Structure formats: structure tokens, C-alpha cells
């Protein structure tokens, strides 16, 4: 593909800067069958990077032979091990706290990075207001994934992602434009360790998975810290990791939708919640039931059961991060998005 060739050429034309040390953190649970391609690619990428590197794998009490695999084939990778299974957020927290360096790259155990993916991400951290940077994420067929660059809009009380074109994004970067993003995917992101810890990392409210990265990026924006999309860095994510291998499809859908409710209830303005989000939610509930789609109502009522916790956390965030709302953040980000149109 012509755009891909141009992409690989651009990835080598990054602004010169001091080369900071980097820690790569990879959470793992029973990943014996999928780890080898990821770790081989990560080691190649770390060798290509000119700065100091360390690779940490956080094993979340795996019951397969993940540890034996790493010790036999990838002895240069440091293992941090949980005695009990704690979940993705805690595995990430263990890795970040154990990281020796100020900049951390978080990768899922099924993500295959390009050999030169590190330098384009790290080049942004010469700016003090950058919290995280997202690479271009490709699917298994080589198509760009929309989650690489998260630009949102509000429609009928919910947040929807905008569509974008990779050629336009690359052209904008070539022309010196900065592509702001709401958040970087938790499966492949670079971020500042100090800022991550100051924000409190991924919130346990979202356990066991999904939307915690969106929430983290939004909290960073509310604090004045930016996330950037860097399409000159590339990874491939086949989405064969822990979630789809160990959880039923319907349960995944309910958890994802429940967590989206949590997210909006935490970050929408009060007026947006009262006059737009909740009225539309009450309209959708009976319509979904009539269509025999029970995911939406199940997710809504599961979220309601934790409304007290959400209200408490919302008040806490308002005190810590101020009055900045999700609507204001999305308008800020949309300015750079319009440069690609």
C-alpha cells in the first residue's frame, strides 16, 4: 500500500532531540499462546531505539506456562509477578510503579509494534504539557483502526467517535500540524510515569476492562495535559488477547456499555446530563427492549447500582481537576481534526 510505504519513510524523519530512557510495560494473563510474536517484535524495536530501554512483563497470576516461556526464550525481559489475579488495571499499576524510567510505553500482549515505532512517540515528550501519545493502530488486515485517533462528538446524549482518513492525518503531520486526541488506547500508548501516578492511574470503577483509558485521558485533559496522535509510529493489534479468550461475548458488551455510562456520568456537564443524556437514555430503554436487545438496559441498570460511587467520584474529580467538562475538551480537540478536512 502506497500510504504505508510513505508512513514507514516518515517514521524515520523525526525531529532530533535528546534520547530519553524508556520502560515498556506488558501486562499478561495466560498469554503463553500469543506472547512470542509480541515479545520478538518488542525486542527488535528496543534494539532499534538509540536510548536506554527496559522491558517489564507483569504476570497477573497466570496458570499456563507464560513464565516458563519468557524465562527460556526471553531472559532479557524482567518479570513482575502477582501472586493472585488482580486484573488489567492493577497489572498496569504494578508495571508503572516498577518502571525505572520517566517515560513508559504500555503494550497489550497481542500488540505487534513496528521496529521503528518508539522514536516517533518519544519525540513528543520534549514538551512539558504532553501526558500521552498514541501510535497508528492497524488491524490484522492492515487497515487503520479508528481508535488510533480519538476525536469525539456529542450526539443524542452520547459521545460518538469521528471518522478520519490516514492519508489526511499523515499530510497534516507533514505540514507541521499537531493532532490532538481525547485519549490513547490502553493497548498501545506512551505516557509520563509521574503524570500517570498523579492522576491515580486507571480507576477501579471500570473493572474488569474497557473505557478506563478513555477516562484517564479525559482526566489528563481536565488537568491541562494533552494526548497526541502520532501516525508515524505504527503497531498492529489483532485483538486476540485476554478479554475475548476468557469472557463471553454478551458479558463483554454489557461491561463495555456500563462503563460508557460511568464515563459520561463522570465527565459530562450537569446540564448536559440532565437535559440531554438522561432523557435520551429513557427513550432508548423501552425501544431496545422492544427490539429484544437487552444489552443496553442491563448495562444501564448495572450502572445505576453504582450511582452512589459515581457521584462521590464526580465530586472528587471536580475538586481535583476543576470545572472543565468533556464538551469543552472535545471542542479543543476538534480544532486539529478540522485541519485534516
Q: Which CATH number fits domain 2-245: 3.90.550.10, 2.10.109.10, 3.30.1490.20, 3.20.20.140?
A: 3.90.550.10
- Indicate the range of 4-18, 25-39, 195-209, 313-327 predicted with least confidence: 4-18
Higher per-residue confidence, 272 vs 3: 272
| pLDDT the model gives residue 241 | 56
| pLDDT the model gives residue 224 | 96
**For the segment 301-316, what is each residue's pLDDT rounded down to a tens digit?**
999 999 999 999 999 9
pLDDT at 3 over 70: no
Phi/psi zone of residue 296: left (φ > 0), alpha (ψ -120 to 50 degrees), beta? Answer: alpha
| pLDDT the model gives residue 341 | 75
**For the segment 26-36, what is each residue's pLDDT rounded down to a tens digit?**
999 999 999 99
Percent of the chain with pLDDT over 70: 92
Alpha carbons 195 and 318: distance in angstroms, whole number:
18
Mean pLDDT of 127-147: 95
Residues 6+ apart with CB under 8 A from 129: 224, 225, 226
**For the segment 98-114, what is each residue's pLDDT rounded down to a tens digit?**
999 999 999 999 999 99
Mean pLDDT of 179-183: 97
Percent of the chain with pLDDT over 90: 87
Mean pLDDT of the chain: 92
> How far is it between the farthest Cα atoms of the chain?
60
Residue of 230, 221, 198, 207 lying closest to 87 (CA atoms): 207
pLDDT at 16 over 50: no
Domain boundaries, the chain: 2-245, 248-328
**For the segment 251-297, what is each residue's pLDDT rounded down to a tens digit?**
999 999 999 999 999 999 999 999 999 999 999 999 999 999 999 99
Confidence of residue 10 (pLDDT cuts 50, 70, 90): low
**For the segment 206-263, what is each residue's pLDDT rounded down to a tens digit?**
998 899 999 999 999 999 999 999 999 999 997 665 566 666 889 999 999 999 999 9
Residues 6+ apart with CB under 8 A from 92: 25, 27, 58, 106, 186, 201, 202
Mean pLDDT of 148-174: 94
| pLDDT the model gives residue 336 | 86
pTM of the full predicted structure?
0.92
Cell of 270: 450537569
* Exposed/middle/buried for residue 6 (C-beta within 10 Å: 0-12, 13-18, 19+): middle
| pLDDT the model gives residue 193 | 98
| pLDDT the model gives residue 238 | 77
Mean pLDDT of 38-43: 97
Amino acid at each position: 500500500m502506497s500510504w504505508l510505504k510513505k508512513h514507514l519513510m516518515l517514521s524515520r524523519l523525526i525531529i532530533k532531540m535528546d534520547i530519553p530512557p524508556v520502560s515498556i510495560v506488558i501486562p499478561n494473563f495466560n498469554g503463553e499462546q500469543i506472547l512470542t510474536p509480541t515479545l520478538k517484535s518488542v525486542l527488535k524495536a528496543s534494539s532499534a531505539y538509540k536510548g536506554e530501554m527496559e522491558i517489564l512483563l507483569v504476570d497477573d497470576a497466570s496458570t499456563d506456562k507464560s513464565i516458563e516461556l519468557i524465562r527460556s526464550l526471553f531472559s532479557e525481559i524482567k518479570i513482575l509477578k502477582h501472586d493472585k489475579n488482580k486484573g488489567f488495571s492493577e497489572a498496569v499499576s504494578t508495571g508503572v510503579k516498577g518502571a525505572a524510567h520517566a517515560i513508559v510505553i504500555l503494550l497489550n500482549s497481542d500488540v505487534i509494534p513496528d521496529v521503528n515505532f518508539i522514536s516517533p512517540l518519544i519525540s513528543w515528550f520534549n514538551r512539558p504539557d504532553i501526558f500521552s501519545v498514541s501510535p497508528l493502530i492497524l488491524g490484522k488486515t492492515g487497515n487503520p483502526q479508528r481508535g488510533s485517533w480519538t476525536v469525539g462528538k456529542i450526539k443524542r446524549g452520547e459521545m460518538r467517535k469521528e471518522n478520519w482518513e490516514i492519508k489526511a492525518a499523515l499530510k497534516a503531520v507533514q505540514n507541521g500540524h499537531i493532532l490532538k486526541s481525547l485519549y490513547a488506547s490502553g493497548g498501545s500508548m506512551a505516557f509520563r510515569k509521574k503524570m500517570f501516578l498523579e492522576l491515580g492511574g486507571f480507576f477501579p470503577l471500570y473493572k474488569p476492562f474497557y473505557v478506563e483509558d478513555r477516562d484517564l485521558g479525559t482526566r489528563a485533559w481536565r488537568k491541562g495535559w494533552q494526548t497526541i496522535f502520532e501516525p508515524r509510529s505504527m503497531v498492529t493489534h489483532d485483538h486476540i488477547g485476554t478479554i475475548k479468550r476468557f469472557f463471553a461475548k454478551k458479558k463483554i458488551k454489557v461491561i463495555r456499555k456500563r462503563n460508557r455510562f460511568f464515563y459520561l456520568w463522570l465527565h459530562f456537564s450537569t446540564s448536559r446530563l440532565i437535559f440531554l443524556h438522561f432523557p435520551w437514555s429513557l427513550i432508548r430503554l423501552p425501544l431496545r427492549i422492544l427490539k429484544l436487545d437487552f444489552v443496553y438496559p442491563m448495562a444501564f441498570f448495572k450502572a445505576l447500582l453504582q450511582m452512589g460511587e459515581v457521584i462521590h467520584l464526580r465530586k472528587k474529580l471536580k475538586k481535583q481537576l476543576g470545572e472543565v467538562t468533556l464538551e469543552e475538551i472535545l471542542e479543543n480537540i476538534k480544532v486539529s481534526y478540522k485541519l485534516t478536512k
